[in-house]
Chain A
Amino acid sequence: MKKWCLLLLLILSLGSSAIAKTEHSEEKWRGFDEAVIERIAEEKGKKPYGLFSLEGDLELFAFALLSGIAGLLVGYYWRKLISENRDASCFTERTLSSSKGS
């Protein structure tokens, strides 16, 4: 199951990346908020704005940095919770009773 999920994610990422590269234009692959929500708001006379603006590659840097940190945290806690405490006995009485307290 894990292998299938990882394979699916890889195919999706590579596939969407390839599509984005071949069909990319100024109007394509805009964010959903800009393409739909902000357009609807502007039609109704509202002018959306951000708290601050991240210009140029600063936005890419901020997203990459924070995503990287979040990814490392996910990996760290995954290892701490799952890999170092692996429990092969799924859905036994013991696991049921230990989770009842939560």
Chain B
Amino acid sequence: MLGLFLGGLYLFVPRELYAMHISEGILSLNWALLWWAIAILTLGLALRRLNFYLKEDPQRKAVFAFVTAFVFLVSVIPIPVPFAGTCSHPVGVAAGVFLLGLSGSIVAGFIVLLLQALLLAHGGLSSLGANTVAMAVVGSLSAYLVILIFSRAFIPLYMKAFLSGVIADWATYGVTALQLALALSEGEPWGSLWVKILLAFTPTQVPLGLLEGVITAGVVTAIAKRRSNLLITEVLKFQEGVTK
């Protein structure tokens, strides 16, 4: 039902279909290799952890499939932002963190980015490492940190999910801006270029991050009300009684 609805939602968006990833030709070989190295290292650790996790509880494979499809769907919908006059998309990994933890969300994010590069020419293969670090790794890590920071705080689950979604989105685009600044700052201080790119990102990404928070809160709350045991332990540990 939700999938059909989201699929139908796609029909309403305008026809300029672009995703927000760094494409081929922007990063120099050195930077592309560096981001690939970081991505491979992180993916190796995440895959090892996820493999252990799925062997321990094979039923989680369905959760992994759900999260991967969800992140793919959310991150190909270009949402028009009236303030900026451009379209951009949420990242969706924060909801993945609530269901699969850090490792599962990182792997799901990488699979999504790989499929988008190969099937839709969005992003690229040389820039896949950079996009993986920004969206899958930093997006998931920031959402996970928000969960940990607020794990002992007795604030409602929807608020934790909202904050995770917002921070994951903003952190992803903050790191994308940093990657661009580092790669393109030839003769210019990278710090000032980073600020310049962040300012260019702001009109689109600030409202979009808030929307991502709402989406994350909606999905996480809907799941918590129906099958709370699908959420990771870090979320549940201090949650008893809060959303009753």
| Residues of chain A having any CB pair with chain B under 8 Å | 1-2, 4-6, 8-10, 12-14, 16-17, 19-21, 24, 27-38, 40-41, 44, 46-54, 59-60, 62-64, 66-68, 70-83, 85-87, 90-91, 94-96, 98-102
Bound Cα distance A73, B24 (Å): 29
Given contacts A75-B1, A77-B62, A82-B223, contact A31 B236 (CB under 8 A): no
- Whether a CB of chain A sits under 8 angstroms from the CB of B10 is yes
Contact B3 A50 (CB under 8 A): no
* Nearest chain A CB to B185 CB, angstrom units: 8
Contact B18 A78 (CB under 8 A): no
Bound Cα distance A85, B69 (Å): 20
| Residues of chain B having any CB pair with chain A under 8 Å | 1-26, 53, 56-57, 60, 62-63, 65-66, 69-70, 72-73, 76-80, 82, 85-88, 101, 115, 117-122, 124-125, 158, 176, 180, 184, 186, 197, 200-201, 204, 211, 214-215, 218, 221-233, 236-237, 239-244
Contact B229 A74 (CB under 8 A): no
Given contacts A64-B10, A78-B3, contact A30 B218 (CB under 8 A): no
* Nearest chain A CB to B237 CB, angstrom units: 7
User: Most chain-B CB neighbours within 10 Å: which of A2, A9, A36, A73?
Assistant: A36
Contact B16 A29 (CB under 8 A): yes
Bound Cα distance A60, B76 (Å): 11
Q: How many A-B residue pairs have CB under 8 A?
A: 250
Bound Cα distance A101, B5 (Å): 33
* Nearest chain B CB to A44 CB, angstrom units: 4
Q: Across the two chains, which residue of chain B brings its CB closest to A60?
A: B15
Option from A16, A53, A90 in Cβ contact (under 8 Å) with B225: A90
* Nearest chain B CB to A9 CB, angstrom units: 6
Contacts of A87 in B (CB 8 A): 226-229
Contacts of B13 in A (CB 8 A): 13, 16-17, 20
Contact B184 A44 (CB under 8 A): yes
CB-based closest 3 A-B pairs? A31-B18, A75-B3, A71-B7
Contact B229 A70 (CB under 8 A): no
Contacts of B115 in A (CB 8 A): 66
Given contacts A1-B222, A5-B214, contact A78 B1 (CB under 8 A): yes
* Nearest chain B CB to A78 CB, angstrom units: 5
Contact B73 A70 (CB under 8 A): yes
